[in-house]
Structure 1
């Protein structure tokens, strides 16, 4: 059984005076932060403040690029050619690297956001395009992948540093992809249930799908979406439940 695991949260998703999530509260619970890069959410001021707060707490910083879709929060699927897709990943990662350096911090990992992530989880060629683009800018960056999907296959093929991720607040299909948000039960709001299922999955070394199927996988990190109303409660209860089960929380190293 895994005895250590990372907790990550998507954050830095506020924009100007519009606030999304309680990032500072989450940063007191998680060990890694995926910070929006200004395309699907966030802006330069929010990036700087969030990275500074993460750095002060010793929380690992990750770039969280998505589609150029502020209105849809990066959750609308877009069809881009390979060059355009690679360019927008590099553009956002470059912004993250610069903002982190200005805070005396470092970007450790990259995690795709929203529709970009879901499409890359289904399409190895798309995942390869995104990851090759990122690695061309930052060869030592750790690629955070949706465990058991085409993302993991692509990262394995590239022989890059990788961390396999599961989700505390999302339900799974039997192919290890996430249940579409439009369907009932896709998003989990019950913090106690979210926490208990994470303990169960980490102990089993497997994703447990909505149907009960077990998909064996390495589990390096657990995601808690920062934009859900229950995010801080889910994060707090998940961390407490894992630690009570003898599983310590620490930043992943990549492998």
Structure 2
């Protein structure tokens, strides 16, 4: 079970470590969810469009509840073949509809397990598109607000999604990534470009400490489908604790 540390300072020294999980589908298994849930403080659970299925969603929500890990919905584009990482020409209305649909589906499993849904974080291409496109961001924020205005909206620090969430009156959580590299303007290097990924756990930990110290993130993500997800998460967690950060859901 995830163990939270004793605070070493004020709230400004508290940070969340999140992982994308529940991304298996049918007989196909992706990630090491149980091991990752012993490290992270929040989980973003796939809702069936880019990955996940009803049985996987139920099992994942139950695992989170058993370990005391905060549960979030991770809605994506309807793209199982591309794992939701290929851009699609969706309208704001379509983005709104698919967000309501997916958050609602996970919300049902969370309620059935006697747990609480705390946040929404779009997945993959939908996340990146909404970070740059104000209209898509507004649609997603409005979808979250209408489903449950108490839910937090997670988005890239400095991106349109966070701004849209703030305008909608939602609690917003700025996010940084441990295993992705950044451009000078603060956006992520696209996955298709060379050098988009951080391959060394030590480099990932150093990047997280820098971004946290700069105040650019209240939560840090480790992608659960990565080949070294558990090792990265362990290294980042240890580095944050050693640097005096308290780990807790955002």
Normalised by the length of structure 1, the TM-score is 0.92
Task: Say whether 1:80 aligns with 2:78.
Answer: no
With structure 2 as the length reference, what TM-score do the two structures score? 0.93
1:58-207 to structure 2, matched below 5 A, reads 58-205=68-215
Give the stretch that moved more between structures: 80-89 or 177-186: 80-89
Shift of 1:153: 1.6
Which residue does 1:234 correspond to in 2? 232
User: 2: distance between equivalents of 1:74 and 1:156?
Assistant: 26
Q: 1:138, CA displacement in angstroms?
A: 1.1
Partner residue in 1 for 2:3: none
How many residue pairs are counted as aligned between the two chains? Answer: 240
Output one character per residue of 1:186-211: Cα deviation in whole Å (capped at 9) or x when no partner.
11121111012111221232xxxxxx
Point out where structure 2 has 5 or more consecutive residues left out of the alignment.
1-9
Supply the distance in 1 between the matched residues of 2:205 and 2:92 (Cα, whole angstroms): 38
Cα offsets for 1:66-93 (capped at 9, x unmatched): 0000000001111122222211110000
Flag structure 1 segments of 5+ consecutive residues without an equivalent. Answer: 206-216
User: Of residues 30, 39, 47 in structure 1, which corresponds to 2:40?
Assistant: 30
What secondary structure is seen at the aligned counterpart in 2 of 1:8?
A: strand
Inter-partner Cα distance in structure 1 for 2:226 and 2:208: 17
Q: Deviations over 1:121-165 (max 9, x none)?
A: 111111011110121111111111111111122122222111111
What SS is found at the alignment partner of 2:119?
strand
**How far 1:182 moved relative to its partner?**
1.1
CA contact (8 A) 1:33 1:62 kept: yes
CA distance in 2, matches of 1:62, 1:145: 13
| Contact kept in structure 1, 2:91 and 2:136, CA below 8 Å | no
Root-mean-square deviation (CA, aligned residues, Å) is 1.1
| Displacement after TM superposition at 1:101 (Å) | 0.9
Which portions of structure 1, spanning 4 or more consecutive aligned residues, are displaced by more than 6 angstroms? none
